[in-house]
Amino acid sequence: MEVKSRAPGKIILAGEHAVVHGSTAVAAAIDLYTYVTLRLPLRSAAENNDRLTLQLKDLSLEFSWSIARLKEVIPSDSSTSTPASCSGEILKSIAVLVEEQNIPEEKIWLSAGISTFLWLYTSILGFSPATVIITTELPYGSGLGSSAAFCVALTAALIASSISDKTRGEGWTCLDETNLELLNKWAFEGEKIIHGKPSGIDNTVSAYGNMIKFCSGEITRLQSNMPLRMLITNTKVGRNTKALVSGVSERTVRHPDAMKSVFSAVDSISKELASIIQSKEEIPVTEKEESIKELMEVNQGLLQSMGVSHSSIDTVIRTTLKHNLTSKLTGAGGGGCVLTLLPTGTVVDKVVEELESSGFQCFTASIGGNGAEICF
Ligand SMILES: Nc1ncnc2c1ncn2[C@@H]1O[C@H](COP(=O)(O)OP(=O)(O)O)[C@@H](O)[C@H]1O
Ligand SMILES: C[C@@](O)(CCOP(=O)(O)O)CC(=O)O
Ligand SMILES: [Mg+2]
């Protein structure tokens, strides 16, 4: 039996980091996906191939565990129909299984992803032998939500494998609301392993798609009433969301009052941004774009004050400003990707040329597309 799934990456238009501390944020799905193929052998064949294999196709890596070894290390009662957090104890046991795979040193950042894979797989499907093939169009660890797309796409395939009504040949289809909610909860548990303390915005926008306003787990789907074009620039500076998120938390412990004001300002920015995007009033687009530009500028200043910007991000901001364009980091920062608002009529050639001559990589992505989908 074979099931395929895909889940999109995202951009955060406003509110990253502050959203972890209860502020509002606005995010949109982009048309870059992580794809999962799940192959479950027939029961008779399963007896001869008693292994769980994970292939990361675009990295040319394969990891494989015998089912007996998984049973030896992971408690059998960890499989459950309700999403649950991976305890520190189980995570330690899973880490042993990951270590045994001898991940190449330069790819050691994959460990958290592979631990997450083992937790989600064994929790949802138990100890069934299978081959799981994953490919992604998203850059890893760059602020475009590769971790969430990975958790969402993987969970979508695992849940889809137990759907009894498998209509084949229909192409990509959405999951029903109940399964979508279940999927989002599991993906959040996966994100916890990778991020430490995620807000849940990344897995939610990857699962549901479109554009959302998100605050303390509450989701509002946004209907954009204006064209919104963003240039995405990847600084290619590697960073790790978990470390950046915990850095902001540490700063908050040291300066609770000051940081409370920062988070409150971000909350206002995200709410105002959401209302501009949705506004049905007869305001000229140029005026809306000017407001968004200013809000992005203020948001970037606040991200700077949280300590999550980077000199490479500053370079992108300075370069785009020369072309009268405004930018802010997106995702966890510390390098990674930067968003530049492209007001109606902007020609990007010159700015892209200048950014790419500094070694950055630029692309535009379609904003607000579908969320998780499955295919039989
Ligand atoms: N396709 C994938 N396969 C395995 N692990 C993945 C995959 N995509 C993401 N990950 C995990 O997520 C981590 C990156 O997540 P993170 O630091 O949150 O950055 P982002 O979500 O912005 O890409 C990687 O280091 C890896 O552990
Ligand atoms: C920094 C944060 O707001 C977004 C992280 O996004 P990413 O993993 O950098 O794509 C963290 C979160 O909301 O969980
Ligand atoms: Mg992430």
**HEC sequence for 239-293:** CCHHHHHHHHHHHHHHCHHHHHHHHHHHHHHHHHHHHHHHCCCCCCHHHHHHHHH
Q: Is 330 in the pocket of ligand 1 (CB under 6 A)?
A: no
Q: What is the CB-side half-sphere exposure of residue 190 using CA atoms within 13 A?
A: 34
Å from CA of 10 to ligand 2 middle: 10
Tokens linked to 33: 């996906």
376 and 166 Cβ atoms separated by less than 8 Å:
yes
Helical pair 285-306 and 256-278, crossing angle rounded to 10 deg: 160
From its phi and psi, is residue 306 left (phi > 0), alpha (psi between -120 and 50) or beta? Answer: alpha
The yes/no answer to whether this complex scores an ipTM above 0.90 is: yes
Q: Which ligand is nearest to the CA of 245?
A: 2
pLDDT value of position 44: 65
pLDDT value of position 27: 98
Tokens 């897995």 belong to residue: 203
Mutate to test the pocket of ligand 2, among 194, 245, 328 (most ligand atoms within 8 A of CB): 245
Residue nearest to atom 14 of ligand 2 (CA): 198
pLDDT value of position 78: 63
Please name each of the domains of the chain with its CATH number.
Answer: 2-221+369-375 (3.30.230.10), 224-364 (3.30.70.890)
User: d(Cα 329, Cα 317) in Å, to the nearest integer?
Assistant: 9
Residue nearest to atom 13 of ligand 1 (CA): 147
Tokens linked to 191: 């994100």
pLDDT value of position 163: 82
Residue 362 has a CB neighbour count (10 Å cut-off) of 18
Å from CA of 226 to ligand 1 middle: 32
Pocket of ligand 2 (CB under 6 A): 16-17, 19-20, 143-145, 147, 195, 198-199, 201-202, 241, 245, 331-332
Tokens linked to 123: 């929790």
Q: What are phi and psi of 275, to 5 degrees?
A: -75, -30
Q: Is 331 in the pocket of ligand 1 (CB under 6 A)?
A: yes
Å from CA of 116 to ligand 1 middle: 10
User: d(Cα 376, Cα 370) in Å, to the nearest integer?
Assistant: 18
Residue nearest to atom 11 of ligand 1 (CA): 113
How confident is the prediction along the chain (376 residues), in pLDDT tens digits per residue?
899 999 999 999 999 999 999 999 999 999 999 999 999 987 766 566 799 999 999 999 999 999 999 999 998 776 667 898 999 999 999 999 999 998 999 999 999 999 999 999 999 999 999 999 999 999 999 999 999 999 999 999 999 998 877 777 779 999 999 999 999 999 999 999 999 999 999 999 999 999 999 999 999 999 988 989 999 999 999 999 999 999 999 999 999 999 999 999 999 999 999 999 999 888 999 999 999 999 999 999 999 999 999 999 999 999 999 999 999 999 999 999 999 999 999 999 999 999 999 999 999 999 999 999 999 9
Q: Is 199 in the pocket of ligand 1 (CB under 6 A)?
A: no
313 and 239 Cβ atoms separated by less than 8 Å:
no
Of ligand 1's atoms, which has the minimum distance to the CA of residue 145? 21
